[in-house]
Structure 1
Amino acid sequence: MIRIYRRKIDDLRRVVIPQQMLNGINVKPGDLVDITCEGGSVRIEKSMPTCWLCRSDENLVEVEVEEQNCMICSRCVMRIQMALIRRQRRLKKYYTFEAAEEIAEETAQQETEE
């Protein structure tokens, strides 16, 4: 059954949503809601947690980012881990090559000094 509640918009362009409606979508104080506007209608839905990066809603892990709790899916966590591993390998390869060059230079200098 559709119920219609009529409310007045205040001077700050706010409207109070009736408690019965919020109870109907299981929204409590402090919960997040998604508000969408389409074709002259406004829709309010209880916000469901999604991945901060890809908006997936599967296998979410809570992560603290800049003192805020965010949700990231396990797929994005895996992608981040793989990117960090690749970066670490590149850096290790670079530093190993750089260290080998330094050793070769030191050895060449010692040989010329002798």
Structure 2
Amino acid sequence: MRPAGVVRKVDQLGRIVLPKSLRKRYKMNEGDPVEILVAGDQILLERYRPKCVFCGEMNGVTEYREKHICEGCMGEMAQIRA
């Protein structure tokens, strides 16, 4: 990961503003969910992508009863019920 060389201050409510150039580069729009990750002493921001609650897969994920489940795990659950 290469530093972007941008410095922003945290406001009284703990907010920071992402520069327009970064939002545009990473296709982040107003209202998009952002995931906050901590790795050691670093704070990482990522565009949120839902992951399967069972296996962590990010492709083919659908929401069922407010949980995200991938096609593979749904297929396995269908076999259990059969």
Q: Give the TM-score taking structure 1 as reference length.
A: 0.56
Aligned residue number for residue 68 of structure 2: 71
Identical columns (%): 25
- Quote the Cα distance in structure 2 between the aligned partners of 1:27 and 1:53: 27
- Conserved in 1, the CA contact under 8 Å of 2:37 and 2:43? yes
Amino acid at match of 1:82: Q
Aligned residues: 81
Q: Which amino acid aligns with 1:56?
A: E
- The one of the two structures with greater contact order (alpha-carbon pairs below 8 A, sep at least 6) is 2
- State how far apart, in whole Å, the 1-side matches of 2:57 and 2:4 are: 33
Offset from partner CA, 1:47-89 (integer Å, 9 cap, x none): 233223321123x142331xx4x5321211112212222xxxx
- Unaligned 5+ segments in structure 2 are none
Q: Pairwise CA RMSD of aligned residues?
A: 2.3
Q: Distance in 1 between matches of 2:20 and 2:44?
A: 16
Higher helix proportion, which one? 1
CA contact (8 A) 1:25 1:45 kept: no
User: TM-score normalised to the size of structure 2?
Assistant: 0.72
Where 2:76 maps in the other structure, the secondary structure is helix
Distance 2:11 2:52 in 1: 35
* Larger Rg belongs to: 1
Match of 2:9 in 1: 8
Give the match for residue 62 of structure 2. 62
After superposition, the Cα gap between the structure-2 partners of 1:63 and 1:46, relative to the gap in structure 1 and judged at 3 Å, is closer
Report if aligned partners of 1:36, 1:43 keep a CA contact under 8 Å in 2. Answer: yes
CA contact (8 A) 1:61 1:74 kept: yes
Structure 1, unaligned runs of 5 or more: 86-114
